[in-house]
Amino acid sequence: MNWIDLLRMSSSNLKRRKLRTFLTVLGVVIGTASIVVMISLGLGMQESLYREVEQSGGLTTIKVTGAQAGDSMYGYSGSDEEASTKYIDDKAIKQLADLDHVSTASPVYEMSVIMLKGAYEGWGQLVAMTPEGLQAKNIPLGEGTLPKTNSSQLELVYGNGIITMFNEKGTGKGYYETGELPDINLAKDSMFLILDQDTYYNSQGNDFGDTASGSGDTQQAAPKRVQKHVVRASGVVEGGPEEYNANYYSIYCDLSTLKQILKKEFSGRVIPGQPSTKSGKPYKEFYYSSAQIRVDDIDNVDAVANAIRGMGYNVETNAEYLDSMKSQFAIVQAVLGGIGAVSLLVAAIGIANTMMMSIYERTKEIGVIKVLGCSLKNIKQMFLLEAAFIGLIGGFVGNILSFLMSAVINFLTGHGAAMGFDGNISYIPMWLVLLSMGFAVLVGVTAGYFPALRAMKLSPLAAIRNE
């Protein structure tokens, strides 16, 4: 009996029992779809991580932090390293730039700011960098350009999620409460930017536009006037508010321009986030929140990071972050895949049951085939082919179902935005499709192996007499 005959007999046997075959295949479909979708969730998170690392400068970028400087509305990320007592200033930046294998060393200053536009009040994280630093971040702009340097007025690049940070002044409700975006065009509208938050909040409820109030001998001193800086956008990060990315909540500006404005506004006072002397006076030096280091080659990242640690600073590398997250994602994928594999195990039991029932129903047919001279090997191959067909069909349909389920998951989560991911939360690569189909066929063949052995061992004469 050749392979063509075996294929024809196997397919015809499956067609004869359509309902049983359908139910058995359905088990494989559900099992395959479960495994693929579960693993795709882990792969989606991993792909989001890769994009985030790429947007943060790739694997050759190092973030250097020292003693806290600047004012972050989100706080600082935790680190296993002890807090550094050394500040990052221009002298430190020069020392970092002079290290072997360092291509560029750019200072970064972060501070939280308040934005005012009509009836709306918003908050954001202002990230000031040099032109070289901004270029190195590869910020994807939907429109506009990066801000000009040494300008008299701040130009901003808004993250695509900044629009969601505005609330109505009267109600305090914003996008996440109402589901509606404020009537603001970040790319075209000018707005007021508040750098001195303490003065702004202290002046709330007062008419700080006046210099005095009252009359006669009962005049009261007016609260200190808060300075409002008129700002415009030079660009906006590409994507809508539902497309989360590494630049989502950031507002970028030129560092030298911001330093000029801060020193002028806070002349004789301590700039928010800057350290002060014991007497409360500001230092002459300007201290940065962090430094962005670019290394010439990925193989030199660890050596440069160790050298910087030896200087007394804390170091975060994208390579270290990626390695730690990859190990966590491997565990997540194993757990999710194991959950999905339970469904496929149940499907394997169903295949074995179908094959055993088929043997009992076709006992006389098997006996006749043996009497006609069909080899035991051919009988085993026929039953294994039937089981493989069930696995193949189930795997194929299961992958189609998994793509549909993946599309629904991505749609319901706003392509990952609702979960805080950049891109789709479910990602199915082609290798996963091929691997899952191969695994489904393997499960089918394995489940049909023992029933096939039983068919081989049937006595021809006993099988023919069987009623």
Q: Is residue 383 helix, strand or coil?
A: helix
> What is the C-alpha separation between 222 and 207, in angstroms, rounded?
8
Cβ neighbours, 10 Å, residue 124: 22
| Stated pTM of the model | 0.63
Residue 405 has what pLDDT? 92
Q: Which two tokens stand for residue 284?
A: 């002459």
**Under 8 Å CB-to-CB from 9, ≥6 apart: which residues?**
382
Task: Kindly state the tokens that stand for 236.
Answer: 């906006």
Pairing state between β 191-194 and 229-237: antiparallel
Residue 213: the pLDDT is 39
How far, in Å, CA of 113 to CA of 193, rounded? 7
Q: Which of 399, 425, 382 lies closest to 243 in space, CA to CA?
A: 425
* DSSP category for residue 174: B
Model pLDDT, residue 209: 41
Would you say the C-alpha torsion 449, 451, 452, 457 has a positive or negative sign? positive
Q: How far apart are CA 272 and CA 238, in angstroms?
A: 30
Hey, what long-range contacts does 426-430 have (CB within 8 A, 24 or more apart)? Answer: 426/37, 426/40, 426/41, 426/44, 427/40, 427/43, 427/44, 427/47, 428/36, 428/40, 428/43, 428/402, 428/403, 429/43
- Across 140-280, where does the E strand assignment appear? 141-144, 155-158, 166-168, 191-194, 212-213, 220-221, 229-237, 250-254
CA distances from 378 to 137, 366, 369, 448 (A): 64, 11, 10, 14
Q: Note the pLDDT of residue 92.
A: 93
The pLDDT, as a whole number, for residue 16 is 75
Cα angle 116, 120, 124; round to 5: 55
Q: What is the pLDDT along the chain (467 residues), one digit of tens a residue?
A: 566 766 776 677 777 778 878 888 888 898 888 888 888 888 887 777 777 776 666 677 889 998 888 766 554 444 445 666 789 999 999 999 999 999 889 999 999 999 999 999 999 999 999 998 898 888 889 889 999 887 888 999 999 999 999 999 888 888 888 888 999 999 999 999 999 988 888 877 544 444 333 444 444 444 567 899 999 999 999 988 888 777 888 999 999 999 999 999 998 888 988 988 888 888 888 999 999 998 888 788 889 999 999 999 998 887 777 777 777 777 877 887 787 778 778 888 887 877 777 766 666 666 666 666 667 677 777 778 888 888 899 999 999 999 999 989 888 876 555 555 556 788 899 998 999 899 888 888 888 887 777 766 666 655 555 55
| The pairing of beta strand 166-168 with beta strand 120-129 | antiparallel
What pLDDT was estimated at residue 195? 93
The two structure tokens encoding residue 155 = 């130009």
Give CA–CA dist 272/70, Å, rounded. 7
pLDDT for the residue numbered 28: 87
Strand, coil or helix: what is 378?
A: helix
Rounded Cα distance, 24 and 117, in Å = 63
* Cβ–Cβ under 8 Å, residues 168 and 175: no
